[in-house]
Amino acid sequence: MNQSAIARSWVEHANGHRDFPLQNLPLGIFTHKNQAKRCGVAIGDAILDLEGALAAGLFEGQARTAVESTRGGALNAYFALGRVARVALRERLLQLLGEHSEHQAALKPLLLASAECQLHLPAQIGDYTDFYVGIEHAKNVGKLFRPDNPLLPNYKYVPIGYHGRASTIRPSGTDVRRPKGQTLPAGQSEPSFGPCARLDYELELGIWIGQGNEMGESIPVAEAAEHIAGFCLLNDWSARDIQAWEYQPLGPFLSKSFISTVSPWVVTAEALEPFRCAQPARPEGDPQPLSYLLDKRDQAAGAFDIELEVLLLTERMREQNLPAHRLTLSNTLSMYWTVAQMVAHHSVNGCQLQPGDLFGSGTLSGAQPGQFGSLLEITQGGKEPVQLASGEVRKFLEDGDEIILRARCVREGVASIGFGECRGKVLPAR
């Protein structure tokens, strides 16, 4: 067993922490009081100030290069360094924060309470692509509109995706302003304009791109994992009534571009290594991926076992001091395509990927009720409202509602880790 799987930290509140034990060590960008943006590492309920540790002379070699690249309030340059520098930094952090560290006295003043810090987007996002690799979601939604043919013919041959809007991606805690747009009310022949009435969430895995590729060159699927810098949670907020009117023939537009929310910590591939697993076998009769999408190592260990959760907290529930209502408990194992396949397909035509690009997995639903990653599925398009302990019902999201996404990796014999929360509260339309 990897020693780091059972190691403890001298930062006592990190040991057994739900999200950020020593085994995780995700990176993010934060501000503390009036300081400029800087890079930190989540450890328990604290953030280690990496620039402060650098100034204290605690890094050298590739680890020092990695920390130096985080200056300036964004991780793009760090992502561009690739796996070698990332691993060097992780190994040094394990030494510094491990229970037998010789540098505790120097590090203690550099540990800042997370509650006193503000977290920001970890990178400047040049491009954002949203995929559709959650096959159970694709089938659930397809059944609503095409009961006899829920999946279109190309779904099992190609990782479906569309180019999204990067300018309105925001970190957890950012309020969600209800969007306005055109909708076509039932029974009407002409559209009307106004606030969205069918606001929804979508539970997704976010993928941060590390080293990119030159325009005109593709990334082989066998090498694609080397181009992934880390992972986060992503809520692809969706205006379902606007979407239904606008999506033909070119797909989502204003129904998706008003905001997307990400969890602010970048969980590295190395932290997720114990939770890798084989890509679930395709059902008998499904086509094998084309050669440029098929790699034996990726099929054997290219999937992740990550538990995903969605909670709803309404204004009335807050007033009544009621706990948040769990809407969804799902898993990334519902992904029909691996992350490496997504990278390989995105670049196969010569499209240039760049450090700090963000991918969304698409909604990750399970096959059973209680595992659906959107209200569109849970309520069957609004036909079966969710009953809440407060006495309220929900077909879609109302003003004051807050959606909370969580992720957790659990495996026997290994310390569990989490992603931190991805939250957003709905505000009325302007």
- Band (pLDDT 50/70/90 cuts) for residue 6 is low
**Nearest CA among 246, 406, 226, 407 for reference residue 302:** 226
Q: Which tokens in the block code for residue 141? A: 């939604």
pLDDT at 4 over 70: no
Q: How far apart are CA 343 and CA 357, in angstroms?
A: 11
pLDDT averaged over the chain? 96
For the segment 199-209, the average pLDDT, to the nearest whole number, is: 98
**Nearest CA among 243, 266, 265, 261 for reference residue 253:** 243
- Band (pLDDT 50/70/90 cuts) for residue 1 is very low
- pLDDT for position 117: 98
Q: Which has more pLDDT, 250 or 91?
A: 91
pLDDT at 313 over 60: yes
Q: What are phi and psi of 380, to 5 degrees?
A: 55, 50
* Helix (H) or strand (E) run with residue 29 in it: strand 27-32
**Nearest CA among 292, 125, 281 for reference residue 223:** 292
pLDDT digits (tens, 9 = 90+) for 56-74: 999 999 999 999 999 999 9
Does the annotation flag 190 for ligand binding? no
- pLDDT for position 186: 87
- pLDDT for position 266: 98
- pLDDT for position 44: 98
pLDDT at 25 over 90: yes
pLDDT at 127 over 80: yes
Instruction: Give the predicted TM-score (pTM) of the model.
Output: 0.96
For the segment 251-277, the average pLDDT, to the nearest whole number, is: 97
pLDDT digits (tens, 9 = 90+) for 76-85: 999 999 999 9
For the segment 114-136, the average pLDDT, to the nearest whole number, is: 98
Q: Which tokens in the block code for residue 307? A: 């538990």
**Strand partners for 47:** 42, 112
pLDDT at 168 over 50: yes
Torsion angle, CA of 240/244/247/251, rounded to 10 degrees?
A: 40
Does the annotation flag 139 for ligand binding? no
**Nearest CA among 87, 95, 70, 93 for reference residue 356:** 70
**Strand partners for 128:** 358
Q: What are phi and psi of 214, to 5 degrees?
A: -75, 145
Among all chains, which residue has been given the structure tokens 């026997």?
Answer: 412
- pLDDT for position 3: 46
136-150, 163-177, 197-211, 416-430: which range is least confident on average? 136-150
- pLDDT for position 260: 98
- pLDDT for position 109: 98
Residue 71 class from Cβ within 10 Å (0-12 exposed, 13-18 middle, 19+ buried)? middle
- Band (pLDDT 50/70/90 cuts) for residue 149 is confident
Does the annotation flag 236 for ligand binding? yes
Does the annotation flag 116 for ligand binding? no
**Nearest CA among 428, 425, 427, 406 for reference residue 417:** 406
pLDDT at 92 over 70: yes
Does the annotation flag 204 for ligand binding? yes
- 3-class state of residue 409 by DSSP: strand
For the segment 403-407, the average pLDDT, to the nearest whole number, is: 98
Does the annotation flag 132 for ligand binding? yes
- pLDDT for position 375: 98
pLDDT at 106 over 60: yes
Q: How far apart are CA 300 and CA 419, in angstroms?
A: 24
- pLDDT for position 140: 94
For the segment 137-162, the average pLDDT, to the nearest whole number, is: 92
pLDDT digits (tens, 9 = 90+) for 350-388: 999 999 999 999 999 999 999 999 999 999 999 999 999
- Band (pLDDT 50/70/90 cuts) for residue 145 is confident
* Positions marked catalytic: 137
Does the annotation flag 211 for ligand binding? no
- 3-class state of residue 95 by DSSP: helix
**Nearest CA among 24, 1, 3 for reference residue 100:** 3
Domains of the chain: 3-120 (2.30.30.230), 128-427 (3.90.850.10)
Q: Tell whether the torsion through CA atoms of 284, 361, 172 and 30 is positive or negative.
A: positive
pLDDT digits (tens, 9 = 90+) for 322-351: 999 999 999 999 999 999 999 999 999 999
Is there a contact between 374 and 366 (Cβ–Cβ < 8 Å)? no
